[in-house]
Chain A
Amino acid sequence: MSAGVIRMLPVIIFFVVLLGLGFYIQRTSADSKAENFSKEYYIGGRSLGGFVLAMTLVATYSSVSSFLSGPGVAWNVGYGWVYYASTQVVAAFIVLGILGKKMAVVGRKVDAVTVIDLIRARYDDKVATLLAIVIIVFFTTTMIGQFIGGAQIFSKAMGIGYVTALIVFAVVVILYTSVGGFNAVAITDTACAMVMLVGMFALGFSILKAGGGLHSVTTKINQIADDYVASGGTKGSNMTSPFGEIGNADGGTPYIPLPLYITQWMLCGICTMGLPQSTVRCLSYKNSHAVHRAMVYGTIVVGAMMVGMHMLGVWSRAVLPSIPEGATTDTVVPTLIANYMHPLVAGITIVGPLAATMSTISSLLIAGSSAIVKDLYLHHKEATNQEIDQKKVATLSISITFLMGIVAVVFSIKPPSIIVWINMFSFGGLQTSFFWVMLFGLFWKKANSTGAFLGSLGGLAAYCITMAAGIKISTFHNILIGIVVALILFIIGNNFGKPLDEEKAKIFFPEQEPAA
């Protein structure tokens, strides 16, 4: 067998397994789907155990950037970038520990299938519709970004054309997601998380082997930093400094100044709690034991991946001292895989970043579809008292999921610059519009619909406008502006409009009601 075929083998096996899981789950869940299709299809009938909950949360969260762009930057900047990425160790437990259980309890009480259902129950239709649209827009653009990233790695590693790579890999993820629904997404996410870990260890092993062992690798990194200092900050980069100074004529500029670290704790730490692709998982687990265990497992895995992958990026500098002129640091990991690995190991390793991409896309796809079908269409039917036929809902849900995927793929073939542009705001934009709505919705009785609407819309606008116009406060990331503006507008809005009515207060804040 040629090296190309051997390299292809693990990827093909992986794709077949994912598809198999999707179709298998579709068959096993047929009975419960006949009863309540949306609940089964969009949150898997609230059946996730602790392990799968942790894995699907982490796999969704870790995307193509954690496996490609992040380690690439670490290759250039050094240990500082690992430090920067390590803020994400809180990402798994914080959403489950703070929002997780309340969402599960209230979600059961009001029979919420989506995050928007819960928001509708807490606030009003206006807030729910606004945020459903935010989800649809940002999820679609993020998916396109992930499709592009995934197809790039796939085509580079396999030596096939970009469009072919895109179509093969997109068909797999769209098929298993649309056919299998949320349970298929959760189970395949778990498989993806496992493969990501395996890929990471294979990559680490190859780097250490090619670099002549840990001591030799780290000595080379230290040497680069020493050379930087010896050159007076004009050459190379200070790889052992937390600020990751990059050499230039001015005597070096910190790549990661302190303010950026502070906002990183918001963007990739605390505020990840707002991300709807994470919070929807709080509606899907089966019992309190599951969520406790998921907090522990999730923290173990997210830390291993974030610290591990970025550290490998630093180490790879010892093996790959330079990249061709004009190439971006995104090419570092694919180059390593292509040049320093046995074809079979390369095939296994390349599945890692592909898995990271697929697990993110699948979750966005199923949640995006739920926003269209459940939050907009079915809600409209319920509101106008029309009858709901479960069979029709089934066909519609599967078709919308499928179509949404296809639309994203079509845009990925030749991405319009507007989409690439919107995608830049999507991660922070989702956080800005959802963070206070979720947190205040569950923990602050005074929070009302006017505040939520004003805060979300105003915060999002402030974030996007300042991002687009390049307005910055010092070197802080603009998430700071978005979150602060959202908070201020939320509080101002709360002084207008109606306070929470008694019916809702009994559901969301029973502890603040007089004891029965």
Chain B
Amino acid sequence: QNVPVSGTIKATDGEILPGVSILEKGTTNGAVSDAAGKYSISVNPAATLVFSSVGMVAKELPVGNQSTVDVTLEYDQKNLNEVVVVGYTSSKREDLTGAIAIVDMAPLKNISSGNPMQALQGRVPGLYIEKTGTPSGANSRILIRGANTLGNTDPLYIIDGIPTKRPEVFQSLNPNSIESVQVLKDASASSIYGSRASNGVIIVTTKNGANADGKITIDFNTSVSAQSEKYARFKMLNAVDRGRALWQASVNDGVNPEDGYGALYQFDWNKDFANPVLNGVTVQPLVGGNANMPAGNTDWQKELYKTGIVTNNELTISGGTKTSSLQINLGYYKNTGMLRYTDYDKLSGRINALTSAFNGKLKIGANMQVASSNETLASTDIGGAATTGLAVTLAPTIPVYAKDGSWGGGIGSGYSDRNNPLHMQEINKWDNTHRLTLFGNVFAEIEPVKNLFLRTSLGMDNAGYYFKNIEQSFEEGSFGRSNNSLTIDQNRYLSATWSNTVRYNFDLGEHHFKLLGGIEAIKNDLNFEIARKEGFAQQTEDYFVLNAGTGNANITGTGSGSRLLSQFARIDYGFSDRYLAAVTIRRDGSSRFGKENAYGIFPAASVGWRIDREAFMQDLKSVSSLKLRAGVGRVGNQEIGDLARFGLFDTRYGSRRSQFPDGHNSFFDQFYNIGTAYDLNGANTGNLPSGIVSIQGANPNLKWETTDEANFGLDFGFFNGSIQGSFDYFTRKTSDILITPPIASAVGEGQLKVVNGAQKSNNGFEFSVGYYARPKGDFTYNVMAGMSRFRDKITVLPEEVRAAYPGNVTQTILGHSQFDLFGYKTDGLFQNQQEVDAAPTQVGAGPGRIRYVDSNGDGRIDDLDRVFFGTTLPAFEYNLKIEAFYKNFDLSVFGSGVAGRSGFDAYTFYNNFIRGRENSGPGVFDAWTPQNSGSRIPALSLSDANNETRASDYFNVNTSYFKLRNVQLGYAIGSKAIEKIKLQRLRVYVMAENLFLIKSREFAGPDPERVDVNAIPIPRTITVGLNVSF
């Protein structure tokens, strides 16, 4: 028998709460509070009422015999009590003393890239991410608090307690399977991870069965996105306009345009170099005079790109009882790629299971993820030029197709030695990178005595990589390939981690202690083989297997590995909830270092003071929380390769330089023999006598790179948590940085060795603040903002290494970051010969040419005039997010930007200059002439006698920007409508990414994030999606 119940709903501060939803638990019977906060509902007396409202902590109350149930709801203070994983143990958020960013998980749920790391871009102060438009969403650079070393800057990922340095593992996680992501930014937080923590640590925990009521919940998310790079295209010249520009450049140089470009164009002009007049330009009808190759007017960007379609489906099934729970997650992601013939798909699954016995005294669980992906990447032409770059630069007179339908290509004089990029994409469409990742752990935890936990965990990171590269033979213009080949490049990586910990928590009066001790052993092994064969009689995808090749064959392969053995401990101490302290220490032993220095010790300590809990603060009602934090710590880095300490000889039968890192030039190194085999018999063929050669000098004294850091932080909340934020300042110093200094060549081949040689310092801050508005009726909103800054610089660098970094004999990289720019400053263009004569001596100077600044004032422009003039890492990074909720609608707007950053403006490079064999942009028609003296584009010239492509601030300009990265509008269909089809929740949404951007006026290109013309542009994306629960 139902009884009527009514009441008033208020917030803890007395505010009336309208629009609160009241639900009889387990039924669909519900009501909503009115403008006065009043409600009434008729329910079973045994029922429990659930009160929920946006921005408030939901509350459940049993009705009992009451007819009036007044409710006071607490403001949701953004989970001050949430549990944070801090490395082998956990802590309440309010008790943290280190600099730990807890990532807001909501934005990770719906992202078109399917890649949780991309979703983090701009959202976490202190975490700097650069990306490209590659279909897999792989990131190009991720930095936590800047670059603290000169080598690898990847952070350490801890996923369900298993460490990995491979960003792919994190990137392959399905966003909906992630429970939480935390970033340990300072050394006091991260030093528990010791020798691998100096680039910061990202801790990820996956979900493990939330329900305990025996019911099964099914969540299904699906979305379709359209990706386009149209906004990021470079405007380039058409066939005829390019001819006009080439004519102008030729006559400027006093060169007959027919000599250089007569094969491409017919120039109708007065042949008067003193006073040249162009009447018209006609494109020669045939490329290279070849009847099968009629000249085109090709917009290569249009040919190369299409709208990319991304589909993302994810299914999560979870259920559990009081003793066991299970979560299964399946995902399928497919991106058809914007660049034609690229694509990416990923199938992933996860099973997390947990069971317990003896009243929860024994827990056993497993977390296991499988991800299988296939990727066809952007390719290069036979000369190694990226198709993405060729889409911008290739001559428009080359047709896409020849008359007979075969591929078009350049023939004869006047063309570059480049291939048709669409052809190159098509011919590489069978190339495939297959990755298979198995990542997970099994664990058991017992609690033999109350609050004493013994835990053992065995984890693995097992990655398989299989790259199939089919090089078909083909003919195209003058630039074909006569030998076809198949290369299979595969490797297997297995990292096993065995961790054992003991935790004990106890209180002595107001003194709270949490103790942790543990040991960990990590074993990494990598094996790889590369097999190559030539001579395939057929060119079909199925025929390209190694057995079918009948030509030259070559196989290489080897392996390496490393071991890490560690002990660690942590003590957390709290006194009367006001004073907090934590001490950690870790001792790591690594196989990468010699006996002398195999072990390193990494201590840290931090303190916190909950000022708001002090008696003197109790009257200050406006301050709801206030905590001061300070910490110091030491972390390490051992990313130097497994064998760096050894002196080694190798039998390099027929190696090419490109097979090894640190060569001369990644392209030319493919043609650079460094092997030991030699045809002593003059047989010209067959197995050769071979030898051995030194490849590395020994350094038994090699040791860890160490980073010492101090961090000061303040967490605050005002007005019952409606304003919350934190501020952190850090300063760090990295010593004994691992470098491989070059030595005088006379010392000989294979004598380089890794040494501990350099130092860097870095400091900066992060600030974040949020305003969580009080609901007004059906409406509420939140505003969050953050900003961060870091500035790193090299403070010690051995003299012989400096040549590898920007600088010259008078100015060195010391005091600068390795990411700083070094080159010439420019000061406009020379207007006339008098200006040239009056200016410092500059080889190649002339009217209309760029004037370089004589920085050292010695009257001549030379190497000594180069200066540091900017940096490619930003001075500030900032973000702004607004969320709003109205009835069933939700809206979020997120933008982020960088300031104080310089970089290469590829468009200026192509738009402002004639490149004799490449296309230019329309900027060349605004080039300087005595009549057009206001232009900042130099007079057109084919010869570049002034060396204007030199590194200078002409190309390297302000690349600051602000981007509206994500706008999302969702609508949750009302519960009445969906209950008929047995659904709990049905939300539809539309989302736009990269909708617009603001950039510096100096930057001429469309997107300052694209400083490399060979990278696929970052797409503008429109997504529609569905979230369903039942």
Q: Are A and B genuine complex partners?
A: no
